[in-house]
Amino acid sequence: MPVKFEKTEIEGVVLCMPDVLRDSRGFFVETFHAAKYAAGGITCDFVQDNRSSSLKGVLRGLHYQLRKPQAKLVFCMKGEIFDVAVDIRRGSPTFGRWSAAVLSEGNQRQLFIPPGFAHGFRVLSDVAEIFYKCSAFYDQTDDRGLRWDDQDIGIVWPGETPPVLSEKDKVQPLLKDVPVEMLPEFK
């Protein structure tokens, strides 16, 4: 089963479009195949899988790990999300820029986010279940974040109502207020 890979405007962030076989019984999709994804430029060794469920309007993020940065391969198993990657690698030519994709159970698309990026998403459907593969283990002591509504980043989040945020995400700093040593380095 082929996979199409579409580069985004930020080097390293890739929209993955696996082939979906559909018939009267439902569908089948291969969500990851190491050799095929490596041929598309995604060569991570994934070590942890995560699954979350969120209600309409929930916005999670923008999150990253500093000392143990995670690459992520994100897809939406149920519902629909607006998924965002923000380049926060100090010294990167695309520092502070963002890329996004609508991921849904209908389109079966995935977003690959390299290490050194902040990640977040907003739920567009009544409920959404998100699954993502990570290249490094989650470390609570390494957990960092940025304001979802940082005007300097300028993410245009869809939605007609204010987002539902965790207490942690309500108080994250603006990118300009994060000391440079608290940002991943561009390599």
Indicate which residue of 37, 64, 119, 132 is catalytic: 132
Written as one letter, the residue type at 77 is: M
37: left (phi over 0), alpha (psi -120 to 50) or beta: alpha
Indicate which residue of 63, 64, 119, 138 is catalytic: 63
Contact at 8 Å (CB) between 34 and 43?
no
Active site residue 33: no
Spacing of C-alpha 50 from chain mean position: 12
Q: Note the helical H segments in 18-132.
A: 34-39
> Which residue is associated with the tokens 């979350």?
52
The rounded distance, in Å, linking the Cα atoms of 29 and 110 is: 12
3-state secondary structure at position 76: strand
Active site residue 119: no
Written as one letter, the residue type at 183 is: L
3-state secondary structure at position 70: coil
Residues designated as active site: 63, 132
